Amino acid sequence: IKDTFVNYPYTPHKEEIMKSYRPTIRSMEISDMMISPNRNFLDNFWRELSMKIECEPKAFKYNASELDYKVF
């Protein structure tokens, strides 16, 4: 996992190893959000990363649903 964090910002997205790096980064972010309510690390991580890579981060925002999911 250490290599993933060290190498991810400097690895071109076309490289085969990125197929391994990206899911690892995503899963670590999700795990951290579940464990720690403090988002400072994640915010800093993504800010630093965005300054090193050419990707443009995307976010999706969904409105709260009024459906009663208990019915399902």
Please answer whether residues 11 and 20 qualify as being in contact, where contact means their C-beta atoms are separated by less than 8 angstroms. no
Question: What is the pLDDT tens value at each position of the chain, 72 positions in all?
Answer: 788 888 888 888 889 999 999 888 888 777 766 676 667 777 787 778 777 766 666 666 667 777 666 765
Domain-wise residue ranges, the chain: 2-71
Please answer whether residues 30 and 39 qualify as being in contact, where contact means their C-beta atoms are separated by less than 8 angstroms. no
How far is Cα 31 from Cα 60, in angstroms, rounded to an integer? 19
- Stated pTM of the model: 0.48
